[in-house]
Amino acid sequence: MLILPGDPLFDLTLATSLPPDWQAVASAINQPPVFVASAADGILRPATPKETIEYLYGGEYDERNDSINDDGDDLAISEFIER
């Protein structure tokens, strides 16, 4: 099954699917990575501890929050699943 942009399940799938390279990052840093959402497209990516700090304090986290709040979609995931 292909879930493409515009499909009602696209955003939910995007938000809950792990990136394919997460295990390589976990191996490289010898611990589970943190997953951060790209400010540009919302795609999750694995991050090392240093990258996580840069994400949180470098402005990308704020950019992502702004992009989420500006889209006008106030539907909670629990409400989406109940549909």
Summarised one tens digit per residue, pLDDT across range 11-34 is: 888 778 888 888 988 898 898 888
Full-model pTM: 0.63
Give me the residue spans of the domains in the chain: 10-82
Average pLDDT over residues 73-77: 47
Give mean pLDDT, residues 2-10: 84
Closest CA to 42 of 78, 66, 6: 66
Q: What is the pLDDT of residues 41-68, one digit of tens each?
A: 888 889 999 999 999 999 999 998 888 7
Would you say 48 and 33 are in contact if contact means Cβ atoms under 8 Å apart?
yes
Element (H, E) at 53: helix 49-57
